[in-house]
Amino acid sequence: MKTKKKFLIYWDYRRSDLLVPFNKLSDEFEWNFIFFRSKEDDNTQLPYRRFYWADFKTPYELLTDVGPDGIIYSDLSSLYAVSMNIAAKNKNIPTYLLDHGIKLDYFFYLDIEKNLKLLNKKVQKTKLNVRPFKVDKFHTVRFYFASLKFKNLAQSIKIFKLFFASLSSNNATAFPKIKFPLRCPNKYLLFSKQNFVYYKQRDGIDESEIIYFGNPHQDDYVLQLSKAVKDTSDPYYLLLDDGQIEGFGITPTQKNNFICKLNEFALSQKSRLVVKLHPFDYDRTDLYQHDNILYKTTADISKLITAATGCFAISTTLMLPLIIAGKLVAFKVPNLKIQEVIESYGVKFLDYLNFSLSEIDFTTTIIPGPQSANFIEHFLYKDDGKANERLRTILRL
């Protein structure tokens, strides 16, 4: 009987929507997760085996216990993750960074983070943040430096610098300043070329370290779009909402005005408005309410999209295949640079703050023919619904 290849996954598994590739390939691979420092921090449901940092004195103890054939990271910008990566490289265990979302340059996100901290938002904390992790600095220090071996001597100065920079500032600003090979994975598995600059700026890599494979979260609805059947018994328009849109200068009042106008359009079409909330906004209580509006948290996103009469979006990754399919009206907000990149391929946006219902036309965002192939290559890599198949092939090697 064939034994499954075993992987240790550093991943925030509180977000079930980000587990799609693992669920899709669970028959092929054995997944083991680590994210929380201790079991007391973890109140999440997960169908896979879990490990906790606090249960091990060194990353080598962890790797011996799990015995992984490879390690997959959602990100490599924490001292625990870097410790594990150094130990894995010393033990010749392959490591991968698996992409999520659509990205601009790295420093753009540092500015957004600053904006969010400065905002005086009257929004409840989300489920993702209500239970902060416990911190044990002594354990972190011991675990981090236990990863070092004599053969790491050439990079030891930067390893020490990264540790002290993380303490004096924060990981987000420390990592792009202190680059060295041991803190980087063997391969970066990215959705598309759009995301390369982010990692190049942060980690100093070149494209030889990248494997592009498409977006595994989009496979199902990409395959269904061409044969989608609209829900005529209960027709609806779908807003794929962006979380923390206030980070781009949009006020809660403006957000509610936007939702209200979309609802007016839906009503004029004798349809409901369904709003698929971003996980960051699941617990908000200040959103515009109307009997015709249904706010959804968890959902089968493929069915939700393909059964909709049409979709609205701002910058979510989910919108990209919908642009090609002609099933989207996109809205532009100030200071959101990713929209400028998308516009450069011929996509038209309506003004988030000042649009009329008569402007809503689902043919306006369709990209002119010659630019469509370039758009797909740059943002989607491929739109064939086979990203999970390509990921399976990569991890089998």
Q: How confident is the model at residue 122 (pLDDT cuts 50, 70, 90)?
A: very low
Q: What percent of the chain has pLDDT over 70?
A: 90
Lookup: tokens for 194: 């759009």
pLDDT at position 397 is 87
pLDDT at position 125 is 42
Return the minimum-mean-pLDDT range out of 17-21, 165-169, 265-269, 332-336.
165-169
Return the minimum-mean-pLDDT range out of 145-149, 162-166, 219-223, 226-230.
226-230
Return the minimum-mean-pLDDT range out of 71-75, 136-140, 205-209, 351-355.
136-140
Sheet holding 95-98: strands in order across? Answer: 49-51, 29-34, 5-10, 70-73, 95-98, 187-190, 210-212
pLDDT at position 229 is 64
DSSP conformational letter for 177: G
H-helix segments, the chain: 20-24, 59-66, 79-90, 106-118, 137-145, 156-168, 171-174, 196-203, 219-225, 252-268, 301-306, 320-325, 337-343, 369-375, 387-396
CATH, range 219-380: 3.40.50
| Per-residue pLDDT tens over the stretch 143-182 | 999 999 999 999 999 999 999 888 776 667 888 889 999 9
| Per-residue pLDDT tens over the stretch 92-110 | 999 999 998 888 888 776 6
H or E stretch including 292?
none
Q: Which residues pair with 18 in a beta bridge?
A: none
Q: Which residues pair with 95 in a beta bridge?
A: 71
| Per-residue pLDDT tens over the stretch 378-388 | 999 999 999 99
What is the number of residues in the chain?
Answer: 397
Q: What percent of the chain has pLDDT over 90?
A: 64
**In this model, does residue 362 exceed pLDDT 80?**
yes
* Residue 217 to residue 18: CA distance in whole angstroms: 8
Pairing, β 272-276 against β 236-240: parallel
pLDDT at position 184 is 96
Mean pLDDT of the chain: 88
Q: Which CATH number fits domain 5-215+387-396: 3.40.50, 2.40.50, 1.10.3470, 2.70.50?
A: 3.40.50
Given a contact cutoff of 8 angstroms between Cβ atoms, the answer to whether 51 and 8 are in contact is yes
pLDDT at position 169 is 65
Q: How confident is the model at residue 129 (pLDDT cuts 50, 70, 90)?
A: very low
Q: Which residues pair with 188 in a beta bridge?
A: 97, 210
pLDDT at position 114 is 57
- The arithmetic mean of pLDDT across residues 201-229, rounded, is 89
| Per-residue pLDDT tens over the stretch 25-72 | 999 999 999 999 999 999 999 999 999 999 999 999 999 999 999 999
Q: How confident is the model at residue 121 (pLDDT cuts 50, 70, 90)?
A: very low
Longest dimension (CA), the chain: 70
- Model-level pTM greater than 0.85? yes
* Residue 8 to residue 6: CA distance in whole angstroms: 7
**In this model, does residue 117 exceed pLDDT 90?**
no
Return the minimum-mean-pLDDT range out of 24-28, 130-134, 143-147, 258-262.
130-134
Pairing, β 328-332 against β 310-313: parallel
**In this model, does residue 269 exceed pLDDT 70?**
yes
pLDDT at position 26 is 96
For 45-105, the three-class secondary structure string (H helix, E strand, C coil) is CCCCEEECHHHCCCHHHHHHHHCCCEEEECCCCCHHHHHHHHHHHHCCCCEEEECCCCCCC
**In this model, does residue 21 exceed pLDDT 70?**
yes
- How crowded is the C-beta side of 57, counted as CA atoms within 13 Å? 0
**In this model, does residue 132 exceed pLDDT 50?**
no
Residues of the chain with CATH 3.40.50: 5-215+387-396, 219-380
3 state DSSP class of 300: coil
Given a contact cutoff of 8 angstroms between Cβ atoms, the answer to whether 280 and 126 are in contact is yes
Contacts of 18 (CB under 8 A, 6+ apart): 11, 12, 74, 100, 217
DSSP 132-150: PPP--HHHHHHHHHTT--G
Given a contact cutoff of 8 angstroms between Cβ atoms, the answer to whether 283 and 129 are in contact is no
